Amino acid sequence: MQSLESQVTETLVIALSRTSGSFRLVVGEQRFDQTTCEFLLTFACVQGKDMNEYMSNLATEYDNVRVPLSGCGKSVTLCLSDFARLRSLYSQRMFELKLEDLLMRNGICSEEQFSRQMA
C-alpha cells in the first residue's frame, strides 16, 4: 500500500486598504499604517525585486524577502509566496490610484470622492 503525501499550507492574511489618503497594511496579526510616501516606497521596493532571481536561486537567503514599510526602519519579512501576494496587492492598488487620478483629471470622480469634496 502506498502512502500519499499531503501538503498543508497555512495562508497568511495580507490585506491593503486605503482611507483618506493613508494606507493600512495587515500582515497576519500585524497592522501597519502608511502615508502615501511610505506606500510609494514599498511599491517601488516590491517592483524592484527580480522575481526570476528569487524563483531560480536555491540559496536559503532567497526563501524570504524583507520589505520596507517606512523610511525609518519599519519592515516585514515574508516567505516568497507571501511576498508575491503582497507585490500583487500593491500593484493592484497602484493601478487603482492611477486610474482614479486619470478620471479626476478628466472631471470624473467616484461617489466616495464626490462625498469627500462635498464635506
* Mean pLDDT across 70-87: 94
Calculate what percentage of the chain has a pLDDT beyond 70.
Answer: 84
Region 27-53: mean pLDDT is 95
- Structural contact between residues 32 and 74, judged by C-beta atoms closer than 8 angstroms: yes
41, pLDDT greater than 80? yes
Please state, as a whole number, how many other Cβ atoms lie within 10 Å of the Cβ of residue 47: 11
Break the chain into its structural domains and give their ranges: 14-91
- For residue range 86-114, list pLDDT tens digits in order: 999 999 999 999 998 898 888 887 666 66
pTM score, whole prediction:
0.80
